[in-house]
Amino acid sequence: MMEVRKASERGIGRSSWLDSRHTFSFSNYYDPKQVGFSDLLVINDDRVQPGTGFSTHPHQNMEIFSYVLEGALAHKDSMGTGSVIYAGDIQMMSAGTGILHSEFNDSDKAMVHFLQIWIIPDRENVKPRYIQKHFSPAEKRGKLKLVISPDESDGSLPVYQDIRIYAGLFDGIEAEELILDENRYAFVHVAQGTLTVNDQTLEEGDGVRIRRETSLRFKRGENAEILVFDMRPIEVPDIEW
């Protein structure tokens, strides 16, 4: 079963420096029907104006990753990590016992467009960690590249949860199939462009909850960039609101 959430249905967070779209409930946007899916709690589609960003703030016991689509994002944290994240880079941060960090647009001229994604961890109060890695377009072109997993398989970044996340680029005749265990859930987020999943046409910003499907077929892409989440079969994250 596939349950589509259209881009136009997402929550909106807007200020003088930030234009954000919330797939799930976040900050001042709350929808009791949209409080995450399985262990996936947040997908924020953020566009940050030049020279601005998220000032230093805390996180605890959360798996957080940023996926940059355009521009460059400057990261600093209380572990002493400082880096710039470019398009194709993934930043993976385990907040654990607690971390302070900031994320700013590294340019004073161009906007930065990125996805900020939160995952509920399977353990609490671990030592905080930060890892960053670049995945080239060639690694994702016409296929699904495993980018995050609990066992770091195939060069993926580690996460404290039973979740596997794939990234893919699809255009023209490029096609791919992902086989799912019948006891797993999945979520597809279209970051850019359009494509079909099991013949369902999806556009930029659309998301799909997937239950009781054993095969996902991706094709007919038009400059499409997607993330696919293979997750535990639970409906909503185990977190108090």
Give the pLDDT score at 240: 65
Answer for the pair 141, 174: CB distance below 8 angstroms, yes or no.
yes
pLDDT along the chain (241 residues), means of 10: 97 96 96 96 97 90 96 89 90 94 91 97 96 96 98 97 98 97 96 97 98 96 98 89 51
Give the pLDDT score at 44: 98
Give the pLDDT score at 101: 85
Going along the chain from its start, the domains and CATH numbers come out as 2-231 (2.60.120.10)
User: In sequence order, what E strands does 106-197 have?
Assistant: 112-119, 129-134, 144-149, 157-158, 164-172, 176-179, 185-197
Answer for the pair 208, 3: CB distance below 8 angstroms, yes or no.
yes
Give the pLDDT score at 77: 84
Rounded to whole angstroms, the Cα distance separating 64 from 116 reads: 7
Element (H, E) at 14: strand 11-14
